[in-house]
Chain A
């Protein structure tokens, strides 16, 4: 049974501390999370194994003896030297190289930075092809990033020297530079996994893109090309990527939203949805959902006529209100007093 695990106090910002839910904050470092176990306790480790030669997948279990400050990586090392033959990757063992990310009990973690739990199911990351056991193929990520041409190019050469770049200008790009490329976010993203119905690039490639696209020196035509290819507006803003990022990058706030703002500035067509939303709110004060859909889809909005009629019958849509909103939007009027 998972206990309520919370961030260290230092990671909670001041304003959140003022709100009452922050009263729940407790320490959550490796030692605190290990406190549930005592040296000598037995832990159960189950690993999902996959053999590419036979195409067979199985879950193998092993019991291990807990020792102080035991990490998932220690458990994998111990399991593979005792009875299990497991393929897994790791290099630095200290949260730098980004090679050891796995899913532990359904959550993306760095094996080298995560405390063991009494009963663990360890699986490979999702949304990438599995090569063997816990080793995934990063090629889909590499292809997406390469297509972004992630190097800086100016449209016109800079004449003065040294070039001044302010902290404010570089704020978002430098947040993205914290990325260790572990793919935890790419595995956690629910949209990447939807496959055919969206070509959303996913959080990890967008973080790579942000390193150059949010740098004021980058050529804007290249940024626009990359943003068009990324389908960034299919991001659902669920914050699953932020939740699992071991580098604590605020991926939605510091990467995806500034990239969306960039897209809106470079190409209103690309950002039609948020700009239309903004225009309706500017005219009406609040959003009128039926009008938003009508403006975005035009008469195609009526393709699902059955649904539209049901929503009218259930008073979810009021045609008179929608038309009034449309009129006031077209006239560009603010709402009356």
Chain B
């Protein structure tokens, strides 16, 4: 059975985390996903445009939703912040017909119209709900035995409560559930649903380095062999700033950080190089050796 999605990779997966986009396209056929990438350069506004240009933010997100709507497909995302921006836009435009009218005036020049019924699906939800753990388990060619996984959710896929329903976001256990399906052992640690600080990193990276260093160190202390994140923005901080965290903490961390699509790809038997693992700052050789040893 093939599941079809309009696919919005977002800026990060098209630039600094291009390995995520590469891995996603590589594993989609294996998972029975047919992805129609929305390839026009467009940004959901991250936190920056969202705060200083509220209408421009809504237009940018409504444009993406309108494109998916034209194709009559659900929209799949691979970035937490894009996901929340799209969900927030949909909620705002559902409840506020005046603003919806203003947005549609701006979209009309491109021949697009936003009506609103598009389903927004993060890849994590596609794996666990659309494909489902039972079907996913049958697809696994290389069970990930011997790997201890520290899930790092990032904020925008588990908070705010008005969108995701968690009174306590620590109750989100979807990544651990997925890790178990893939044959890994999920570990518990205090950083699971904490913030990586990405959204101030371009201007003040010290906040991100300080915040995230303690979470990586805590994952290390609890025996994680890798950290898994569903968000390329978290990945950027966890991976590219990790050497700075080591300097700040005055200790080695050497914690490989994997994108969701990469860990699924490894379990499906895809070669590490095809998943772009060599594009990370922190090498993943240890993981590959563990996997090869377990076969």
By a beta-carbon cutoff of 8 Å, the part of chain A in contact with chain B is 2-7, 11-16, 18-22, 24-25, 28, 106-107, 190-191, 194, 197-198, 233-240, 242-243, 248, 250, 252-253, 256-257, 260-261, 264, 271-275, 277-278, 281, 284-290, 292-293, 296, 304, 306-307, 310-311, 314-317, 321, 335
Contact = CB atoms under 8 A, between A and B. Distances in A.
B272 interface: no
B223 interface: no
26 contacts: A6-B165, A7-B162, A12-B162, A13-B162, A15-B90, A18-B119, A19-B120, A20-B129, A24-B165, A190-B197, A197-B207, A236-B208, A237-B155, A238-B194, A240-B155, A242-B162, A250-B160, A257-B51, A260-B51, A275-B52, A278-B49, A281-B49, A284-B41, A289-B236, A293-B202, A311-B16
A95 B161 CA distance: 19
Interface string B190-202: 0000110111101
A315 B42 CA distance: 22
A236 B167 contact: no
Nearest to B197: A236
B104 interface: no
Contact of A273 (B17, B163, B202): B202
B14 interface: yes
Interface stretch (B144-152, B168-176, B257-265): B168-176
Smallest CB-CB A-B distances: 6 pairs: A285-B41, A238-B195, A274-B48, A239-B159, A277-B48, A15-B91
Looking at chain B's contact residues, the main secondary structure is helix
B40 interface: yes
Contacts of A272: 203
Contacts of B156: 237, 239
Contacts of A292: 202
Contacts of B163: 16
Contacts of A278: 48-49, 52-53, 56
A286 B17 CA distance: 14
Interface of B: 11-12, 14-18, 40-43, 45-54, 56, 87-88, 90-91, 94-95, 116-117, 119-121, 125, 129, 155-156, 159-171, 194-195, 197-200, 202-204, 206-208, 210-211, 236, 240, 243-244, 278-281
A242 B195 contact: no
A237 B211 CA distance: 13
Contacts of B51: 256-257, 260-261, 264, 274
Contact of A243 (B45, B46, B90, B161): B161
Contact of A285 (B43, B56, B169): B43
Contacts of A19: 87, 119-120
A289 to B, nearest CB: 5
A13 B41 CA distance: 30
Contacts of B280: 314
Given A2-B170, A5-B171, A261-B51, A233 B160 contact: no
A236 B207 contact: yes
A273 B160 contact: no
B16 to A, nearest CB: 5
A5 B202 contact: no
Contacts of B169: 243
A21 B130 CA distance: 11
Main secondary structure on chain A at its contact with chain B? helix
Contacts of A16: 87, 91, 162-163, 165
Given A197-B207, A236-B197, A264-B52, A21 B41 contact: no
A297 B42 CA distance: 24
A264 B56 CA distance: 14
Contacts of B42: 285-286
A296 B201 CA distance: 11
A288 B167 contact: no
Contacts of A191: 197, 207, 211
Contacts of A250: 160, 162
Contact of B202 (A260, A281, A296): A296
Given A197-B206, A289-B15, A304-B244, 20 more contacts: A2-B168, A2-B170, A6-B165, A7-B161, A13-B162, A15-B87, A15-B94, A19-B87, A21-B125, A233-B200, A237-B47, A248-B162, A250-B160, A257-B51, A264-B51, A274-B48, A281-B49, A287-B15, A289-B202, A307-B240
A316 B168 contact: no
Contacts of B129: 20-21
A317 B16 CA distance: 6
A15 B280 CA distance: 37
Contact of A198 (B41, B119, B202, B206): B206
Given A4-B171, A260-B51, A235 B164 contact: no
A77 B286 CA distance: 53
A24 B161 CA distance: 13
Contacts of A271: 52
A242 B88 CA distance: 15
B279 A316 contact: yes
